[in-house]
Amino acid sequence: VTVRTRSMRRMGQRAGLYATVTAFAALLAFPFYWMVLATFKSDRDLYDLKNNPLIFNARPTLANLALLFEKTLYLTWLWNTLLVGCLVVALTLILALPAGYALARMAGRWGERLGIAIFLTYLVPSTLLFIPMSRIVASVGLQDSLWSLVLVYPSFTVPFCVWLLMGFFKSIPRDIEEAAMVDGCSRLRAIVRVIMPISLAGILSAVIFAFTLTIQEFVYALTFITSSGQQTVGVGVPTNLVRGDVFFWGSLMAACLITSLPVALLYNVFLNRFIAGFTLGAIK
């Protein structure tokens, strides 16, 4: 009898587990299901209140996608986002790679402190800085230009990536570059020839995070840029596909979907390193 009650209790636990995770999955992923639906629904289907909104009531259509790509600046926004993302990533690497390495290897005790101090600047949010930043951007003549974002975005990608790379370089044994230096390499040569190749995974994750942070940014892009042709996806889509009270819902959701999925896939691959960066060594 006890065996049977135990197995029944276990089945109950399994059922509870599946019910809980299904509920969470539904809650978290539903908006994306909704994007998929709306992307391919015809207007007649979308705006008929008698319809069940959760399924296709009429034949799916590509009209929303056509509108998005042909009648809006979506491709321009995508291109702008990509351009800003790549330039910011490049700038970030130029600044953060040497700093992360030096803080991990050469600076000893105060390097640790300085590393934490730089990470803490990541906590200073855009909503605290956007007003003075708008002044700075205006004074260097970059208002309403993509270059303002290239200038400002490293203010959050650099602190985060310095921290991430510092942690990564610490995990590489010192012997490796010391061996190279004994073989006659200069320090810089040892870094470039020996350390960088084996750090590719860490560098790549810094690239991905810097890139996704710039794609997700909203406040600076909203503050600095007003003309549609210079906007990024995050700002261009919600401000231009809404005209007064008219929402182009189908195209709006298509834009959200197309932008979100690739970012999500990239991110998923590098999740563990991201966690390691945020847990501050509170996990061993």
Residues 123-142 that bind other proteins (CB under 8 A): 123-136
In the window 66-95, what residues touch other proteins (CB under 8 A)? Answer: 94-95
Using the rule CB under 8 A, is 20 a contact of other proteins? yes
CA distances from residue 149 to 87, 122, 212, 253 in whole angstroms, order as listed: 10, 17, 14, 25
Minimum distance of other proteins from residue 197's CB (angstroms):
18
Stretch that binds other proteins, among 3-11, 46-54, 59-67, 70-78 (CB under 8 A): 46-54
d(CA 136, CA 140) in angstroms, rounded, equals 6
Nearest residue (CB) to other proteins, 47 versus 171 = 47
Stretch that binds other proteins, among 3-11, 58-66, 71-79, 101-109 (CB under 8 A): 101-109
How distant is the alpha carbon of residue 34 from its chain centre?
21
Please, which residues have CB within 8 angstroms of residue 237's CB and are 6 or more apart in sequence? 74, 77, 252, 255, 256, 259
Using the rule CB under 8 A, is 167 a contact of other proteins? no
Q: Which of 96, 146, 164, 206: binder of other proteins (CB under 8 A)?
A: 96
Using the rule CB under 8 A, is 53 a contact of other proteins? yes
Q: How many CB atoms lie within 10 A of CB 186?
A: 11
Q: Which of 65, 88, 154, 211: binder of other proteins (CB under 8 A)?
A: 154
Please, which residues have CB within 8 angstroms of residue 228's CB and are 6 or more apart in sequence? 73, 236, 239, 240
In the window 186-225, what residues touch other proteins (CB under 8 A)? Answer: 186-188, 212, 215-216, 218-219, 222-223
Using the rule CB under 8 A, is 246 a contact of other proteins? no
CA nearest 235: which of 216, 248, 249, 250? 216
Q: Which of 1, 3, 106, 246: binder of other proteins (CB under 8 A)?
A: 106
Using the rule CB under 8 A, is 147 a contact of other proteins? no
Cβ 227 vs Cβ 169: under 8 Å: no
Cβ 194 vs Cβ 180: under 8 Å: yes
Nearest residue (CB) to other proteins, 46 versus 83 = 46
User: 280: left (phi > 0), else alpha (psi -120 to 50), else beta?
Assistant: left
Stretch that binds other proteins, among 60-68, 72-80, 195-203, 266-274 (CB under 8 A): 266-274
Stretch that binds other proteins, among 4-12, 58-66, 199-207, 257-265 (CB under 8 A): 257-265
* Interface map 26-45 toward other proteins (x if CB under 8 A): -xxxxxx-xx--x-------
d(CA 68, CA 86) in angstroms, rounded, equals 24
Nearest residue (CB) to other proteins, 1 versus 52 = 52
- Counting residues that bind other proteins (by CB under 8 A) gives 99
Stretch that binds other proteins, among 60-68, 69-77, 197-205, 275-283 (CB under 8 A): 275-283
Minimum distance of other proteins from residue 254's CB (angstroms):
11
> What are the strands, taking DSSP E only, across 1-95?
none
In b/e form, how buried is each residue of 78-106, taking b as 16+ CB within 10 angstroms?
bebbeebbebbbebbbeebbebbbbbbbe
Rounded-to-10 torsion of CA 50, 56, 59, 61: 110
